[in-house]
Amino acid sequence: MSLSLLLLPLLLALPPPPSAAAQGQTTNISSFSSSDGQWRPGQGQILLSPNATFAAGFQPPFPNASSSSSQYTFSVWYNGISPPTVVWSANPDSPVDASAYLVVTSGGRLFLNSSGVDRWGPNATVATGNSSANLSLSDDGNLVFGAWESFGVPRDTFLPNQNMSGRTLVSKNGRFSFDSANLVFNDTENYWTSPNGEFLNLDDSGKINQNGQPTLSADFGEHVSVPRRLTLGDDGNLRMCSYSQSQWTMVWQAMPELCTIHGLCGRNSICMSDGAEGTYCVCPPGFRSSAAGNYECERKVPVRSPKFLRLDFVNFTGGLNQTKLQARNYSDCEARCRVNSTCLGFMFNYDGTGFCVLQLGQLLYGYWSPGTTTANAMFLKVDQSETDTSNFTGLTSVLETTCPVNVTLPQPPDESNATTRNIVIICTLFAAELISGMAFFWAFLKKYIKYRNMAQTLGLELLPAGGPKRFTLAEIKAATKEFSDPIGRGGFGDVYKGELNDKRVVAVKCLKNVTGGDAEFWAEVTIIARMHHLNLVRLWGFCAEKGQRILVYEYVPNGSLDKFLFRSSRPTEQGETDEAAPMVDEKPMLDWGVRYRIALGVARAIAYLHEECLEWVLHCDIKPENILLGDDFCPKISDFGLAKLRKKEDMVSMSRIRGTRGYMAPEWAKTDQITPKADVYSFGMVLLEVVSGVRNFEMQGSLLDSEDWYFPGWAFDKAFKEMKVEDILDRQIKHAYDDRVHFKLVDRMVKTAMWCLQDRPELRPSMGKVAKMLEGTVEIMEPRKPTIFYLGDD
């Protein structure tokens, strides 16, 4: 198990060693009763549990170990470890001075006497009425006096074997609490609810027993008897820590994203994470730090006539009414906020779902979270006169790597003058374009719903709601004019262009050699149609009539990636690239930015297929021919899910016949189980081709003649041994490669490809990880050289 990888060392503020220890003369007692008289802070007496795991006694109150403070609390701490760690205190909020003392009165009452006042909280009096009652400490860390026990009144820490049900932790600063199921700020503001029900107890192996599934720590079962604790920190996070190798290590936490904790920042303020363990608060544009402090911000100019500033990846979760509206588009959402004076802004998602939340009355619990994959932004209402601009940006680059965005590509360049071509994609108008994109999406969705209704009236309710439309063969024939316009010939069958009655242009794929009956086909098609992703070709319907198996897809105008990537082997034609009269047949060059965007889009779509779909879908045939390019060179994967309609033997022989063995993972050649990692391999090969512009098995030059020449291995040596990454770049746009601008992009693509192309499936990253590697949101370790062991005997 690689659980230990998850262990995150964490240096938590540690309480002081016992003051008594410093004085060198310790009296150890195992119980304390009325006959023991007065127990004073300075006398160096501690109460030990039978096996000395825990100790109790007077401690200086707060973290300053070296403080010469004369203030004390009566506490319980982990004794065997260094530094000792306080887990409970009798009087955390009202420390006593050296003149105070603890006694058990003759009436059987525990009395922490500070000038006549009992400081033994939380309820001032612990009385048994039994004069022989004594105070003792169990090996679990439970301080017991008669029927009273410290386990019943926890402070900020739960210990193993302590019953948590119905008990509440409160952070030292008193701002946060945990009632064994919810984390709450300021008594009412719940920011986390245990997904598996109430916490019952923590056991020695690192398992939290709950009403539902237990929660396991990262070191579950590894060290059964190490000290552990579950502590609610002053930052509002609940963490389990275990003690090993002389330090406390965090092994579980409720809130991995600290800024989603409520109350770290004040009104109108936005919480930012510094990437490590800390957070800080900033004011949004149009606001300044409030004189009131508390990390609050106040508006600089009152809003008379509103405008909106976009704050990318900002989310305020504390409005008066966080109702999610279904807005038709951005303008709809904005209009609703504009007219309502209590609306201070709104959140909108650029994902086509119409996600729109008006921020009414107050701006609370804001945070900035750029790691999210959804393109969400907060639109803050400010006055027209406001000159501040938003510096919460970053959405543009995400949108550049998603769709739709408008890019214009250069025609194949003239080598001589294009050496310093600036190829950064600029999408200044992206917001406006996006809105029109969304409008289109909604128009489509409305039609879609209409089809669904139609299907229902036609008695096709068998299909789940939102299922694909079933076409008749006659409809298909009419749409394709009797299959008169072939546009492709894929492994799964021939493809024809057509136009439906409602003017939608479609690609009609007539499947060959599909096994299984009607019902099975329906089931599979329904699954395929349920997959919606910007980077997947949309399945609109199907036809299963007279033995025909036909799929109706959206038509993707620019054709497949291979046409752009692999040009005819003749050298680039000079002189034919007159800008004024571009060759009709000449495909434009894909520049580095677009190539990166294609790689990322494809990676995200495959990750979606692997990880987010209800059923695990392996594509099993990823290659440039199956990556189509939309209007704006937005990549769309086709043929996904079709592998399910075929047998593995078919897939292998089919691929061999078509000579696409270069994309198949080594395990295909063996009898190994085919896992999602096979797709990762194929993707790696495509990625390398996207960078190099050559087919992995059609590399020009003499190298190919060698029996053991292996494209990934060759590329690896070039990039990481000879350190000449330029040598593997596509010759046709090599001149446009600007080290300063493109190095990171290309480096990420090459490194990621190398990881994807590892021969052992388990060494390849998951597709989700691959997408993150390309995005640059995770660090990419130095790859190992990909090797091959099946080539040659194939």
Ligand X SMILES: *[C@@H]1O[C@H](CO)[C@@H](O)[C@H](O)[C@H]1NC(C)=O
Binding mask 152-181 for ligand X (x = CB under 6 A): xx----------------------------
**Does 134 interact with ligand X (rule: CB under 6 A)?**
yes
**Does 123 interact with ligand X (rule: CB under 6 A)?**
yes
| 8-state DSSP, 25 | -
With residue 705 as reference, give the H or E element that holds it: none
The answer to whether 142 touches 154, Cβ cutoff 8 Å, is: no
| 8-state DSSP, 691 | H
Q: Which residue has the tokens 């016992």?
A: 18
**Does 35 interact with ligand X (rule: CB under 6 A)?**
no
Q: Minimum distance from CB of 499 to ligand X (Å)?
A: 20
**Does 331 interact with ligand X (rule: CB under 6 A)?**
no
Give the span between the Cα atoms of 476 and 548, in whole angstroms: 11
With residue 453 as reference, give the H or E element that holds it: helix 430-457
Q: Which of residues 339-368 bind ligand X (CB under 6 A)?
A: 340-342, 347, 349, 360
Active site residues: 621
Stretch that binds ligand X, among 112-120, 491-499, 540-548, 679-687 (CB under 6 A): 112-120
Binding mask 270-309 for ligand X (x = CB under 6 A): ------------x---------------------------
* CA distance readout (Å), 676 to 304, 615, 673: 56, 12, 10
Q: Which is nearer to ligand X, 89 or 758 (CB)?
A: 89
Q: Which is nearer to ligand X, 364 or 642 (CB)?
A: 364
Give Cα 100 distance to the centre of its chain. Answer: 53
Tokens coding 672: 């190994």
Stretch that binds ligand X, among 129-137, 302-310, 611-619, 699-707 (CB under 6 A): 129-137
Q: Which is nearer to ligand X, 430 or 711 (CB)?
A: 430
Q: Minimum distance from CB of 289 to ligand X (Å)?
A: 10
Q: Which of residues 13-32 bind ligand X (CB under 6 A)?
A: 26, 28
Q: Which of residues 364-403 bind ligand X (CB under 6 A)?
A: 374, 376, 391-392
Stretch that binds ligand X, among 51-59, 540-548, 757-765, 767-775 (CB under 6 A): 51-59
Q: Minimum distance from CB of 445 to ligand X (Å)?
A: 17
Tokens coding 695: 């087919």
Q: Minimum distance from CB of 618 to ligand X (Å)?
A: 30
Q: Minimum distance from CB of 639 to ligand X (Å)?
A: 25
Give the span between the Cα atoms of 331 and 449, in whole angstroms: 22
Give the span between the Cα atoms of 286 and 303, in whole angstroms: 10
Total residues contacting ligand X by CB under 6 A comes to 50
Q: Which is nearer to ligand X, 188 or 417 (CB)?
A: 188
Tokens coding 281: 């608060």
Stretch that binds ligand X, among 113-121, 461-469, 518-526, 664-672 (CB under 6 A): 113-121
**Does 211 interact with ligand X (rule: CB under 6 A)?**
no
Question: According to DSSP H, which parts of 471-591 are helical?
Answer: 473-479, 518-529, 561-565
**Does 190 interact with ligand X (rule: CB under 6 A)?**
no
Q: Which residues pair with 114 in a beta bridge?
A: 117
**Does 51 interact with ligand X (rule: CB under 6 A)?**
yes
| 8-state DSSP, 787 | -
Reading phi first (left if > 0) and then psi (alpha if -120 to 50, else beta), residue 96 is in beta
Give the span between the Cα atoms of 341 and 322, in whole angstroms: 16
Give the span between the Cα atoms of 118 and 125, in whole angstroms: 7
Q: Which of residues 396-435 bind ligand X (CB under 6 A)?
A: 404, 406, 433
> Degrees (nearest 5) of the Cα angle 198, 199, 203?
155
Q: Which is nearer to ligand X, 266 or 712 (CB)?
A: 266
**Does 116 interact with ligand X (rule: CB under 6 A)?**
yes
The answer to whether 718 touches 725, Cβ cutoff 8 Å, is: yes
**Does 571 interact with ligand X (rule: CB under 6 A)?**
no
331 in helix, strand or coil? Answer: helix
649 C-beta neighbours (distance < 10 Å), count: 8
**Given candidates 37, 63, 166, 221, which one binds ligand X under the rule CB under 6 A?**
63
Give all strands of the β-sheet with 199-202 in edge-to-edge order: 199-202, 207-210, 215-216
Q: Which is nearer to ligand X, 113 or 196 (CB)?
A: 113
3-state secondary structure string, 399-450?
HHHCCCCCCCCCCCCCHHHCCCCCCCCCCCCHHHHHHHHHHHHHHHHHHHHH
Class of residue 644 by CB neighbours under 10 A (exposed 0-12, middle 13-18, buried 19+): middle
Q: Minimum distance from CB of 675 to ligand X (Å)?
A: 32
Stretch that binds ligand X, among 313-321, 526-534, 640-648, 770-778 (CB under 6 A): 313-321
Tokens coding 400: 């550049």
**Does 436 interact with ligand X (rule: CB under 6 A)?**
yes
Q: Which is nearer to ligand X, 366 or 541 (CB)?
A: 366
Give 706's contacts (C-beta < 8 A, 6+ positions apart). none
**Does 787 interact with ligand X (rule: CB under 6 A)?**
no
The answer to whether 488 touches 494, Cβ cutoff 8 Å, is: yes
Give the span between the Cα atoms of 584 and 679, in whole angstroms: 35
Binding mask 65-84 for ligand X (x = CB under 6 A): --x-----------x-----
**Given candidates 249, 260, 268, 396, which one binds ligand X under the rule CB under 6 A?**
260
With residue 482 as reference, give the H or E element that holds it: none
Q: Which is nearer to ligand X, 408 or 568 (CB)?
A: 408
Stretch that binds ligand X, among 63-71, 229-237, 528-536, 654-662 (CB under 6 A): 63-71
Q: Minimum distance from CB of 45 to ligand X (Å)?
A: 10
Q: Give the CA dihedral 610, 534, 732, 581, nearest 10 degrees.
A: 160
Class of residue 445 by CB neighbours under 10 A (exposed 0-12, middle 13-18, buried 19+): middle
Q: Which is nearer to ligand X, 133 or 606 (CB)?
A: 133
Stretch that binds ligand X, among 115-123, 326-334, 495-503, 667-675 (CB under 6 A): 115-123
**Does 466 interact with ligand X (rule: CB under 6 A)?**
no
Q: Which is nearer to ligand X, 26 or 196 (CB)?
A: 26
CA dihedral (594, 598, 601, 604) positive or negative = negative
Give the span between the Cα atoms of 693 and 751, in whole angstroms: 17
Q: Minimum distance from CB of 105 to ligand X (Å)?
A: 5
**Does 111 interact with ligand X (rule: CB under 6 A)?**
yes
Q: Minimum distance from CB of 372 to ligand X (Å)?
A: 6
Q: Contact positions toward ligand X, by CB under 6 A?
A: 26, 28, 48, 51-53, 63-64, 67, 79, 103, 105, 111, 113, 115-116, 123, 130, 132-134, 139-140, 152-153, 186, 188, 225, 260, 263, 282, 315, 317, 321, 323, 340-342, 347, 349, 360, 374, 376, 391-392, 404, 406, 433, 436-437
